Amino acid sequence: MDGDTAYRLARATSDHLRHLTGRAPKLVLGMDTRRSSPMLAHAFTAGACTRGAHVTWTGVLPTPGVAFLTRHRRADAGVVISASHNPFEDNGIKLFDGEGRKLADDATAAIERRLQGGADDEPDATGADIGSSDRYDRREGAYRAFLLGHAPYLDGLRVALDCANGAASQVAPEVFRRIGARMDVIHASPDGVNVNAGCGSTHPDAIRTHVRAHGLDVGVTFDGDADRVQLVDRKGRLVTGDHVIAIVARVRGDREVVATVMTNLGAERWMNDHGITVHRTQVGDRHVDAELRQRGLRLGGEQSGHVLFLDKASTGDGILSALQLLAAVRASGRPLEAWMDDIPTYPQTLRNVPVPDGEKTAVTQHPDVRDAIAGIETEFGDEVRVNLRPSGTEALVRVMVTAPDEARLERVAGQLEDLLRRLDVGA
């Protein structure tokens, strides 16, 4: 992602929106804390203004905050400059529609066509038709008020927050302080290059160590743009998105939820045992969202901590998810660690196997790989779960294996990793 791409994408997006609405589009734009985010935000704003769009800057704000404000301000689209959980040198642009949902596939494809072949064919705006930009007044506090409206009172609960040196660094501590938490806040000093660096939800050992060392009740750890969250209980056990869904569904009385093929088999079986049907989709919050809406359900998400509460928000929100889990725990009258004692977590491994970037999909579909997975399913049945998927951002194939014990886990994961490493796709 570079400035030129951001500039051209803004022009293509603005043209697409203008053709849909028949008027100059209104955009809400936010960003995370990466060094490159302001550069890309300025480039995007410039491109949008050449097409007559109006852009409202929120500054650094969690991705779900931008989605919320897009809908709250009745804008035509939301734009977030962020690479989420990736290292600081990466960056990207996320687009939301006027309802605060990720763009539909057909809208994305239409913008891509403009970007690739003719976004510059239309005339630039001139004179009074040139677009403009302004800054969102953070004192309005609409997003903060939204979060507080769905928060429990924590009454002195001892909480550690790991903000990943990212977009949650300001708003999350403020919200938790307002609801009565006694807080330790770590990794909330972004400098442009330290986002996700050894911290946040992709490095949960940081929060786990802090909670144990200081005898705290719970730890909450976000990713760089705060659309996902993981927690740890006072024993240092990781509370994943699977646990969030299971606990909230049990307390609220949801009879059906949506999860993905990455969902831990232990958590899924626990939900089934408690009368909760789990519908599984492909990996990705877009697939979870589509399944929830198709079935008319309200709760679903991913093990990584991207959880959707469609009765409350249009997209996954890490801060909201943490608040909803803590609200459910308090409503149950049981501490978080008691819930974690109840919900079994089967041993699970996720291995990243390097492959040539252009061969990621071919590797996962290779006949030898399909035969190996079929053999595993024949031998172990539903006791072992395997999922292979190409990374969306890196030259890797991700191998996930879940099994009831470490012996079977290591055997199956090792077998698949060895196969992928020696596979010759061109053969």
Q: Which residues are catalytic?
A: 84
Neighbours of 412 (CB within 10 A): 23
Phi (first) and psi of residue 137, to 5 degrees: -80, 105
3-state secondary structure of 255: coil
- The sign of the dihedral angle between the CA atoms of 274, 276, 279, 285 is negative
- What is the C-alpha to C-alpha distance for residues 148 and 157, in angstroms, rounded to an integer? 16
The residue type at 337: E
Is the Cβ–Cβ distance between 159 and 184 less than 8 Å? yes
Tokens for 297, please give them: 């359900």
Radius of gyration of the chain (CA): 22
Kindly write down the DSSP assignment for every residue of 391-414, as one continuous string. Answer: -SSSSEEEEEEE-SSHHHHHHHHH
- What is the C-alpha to C-alpha distance for residues 5 and 374, in angstroms, rounded to an integer? 43
- What is the C-alpha to C-alpha distance for residues 319 and 316, in angstroms, rounded to an integer? 9
Is the Cβ–Cβ distance between 40 and 91 less than 8 Å? yes
Tokens for 207, please give them: 């929060």
Kindly write down the DSSP assignment for every residue of 49-74, as one continuous string. Answer: HHTT-EEEEEEE--HHHHHHHHHHTT
Q: Give the residue among 350, 344, 203 at the shortest CA–CA distance from 262.
A: 350
Phi (first) and psi of residue 98, to 5 degrees: -65, -15
Q: Give the residue among 388, 406, 408, 407 at the shortest CA–CA distance from 398.
A: 388
Is the Cβ–Cβ distance between 240 and 304 less than 8 Å? yes
DSSP lists the bridge partners of residue 26 as 54
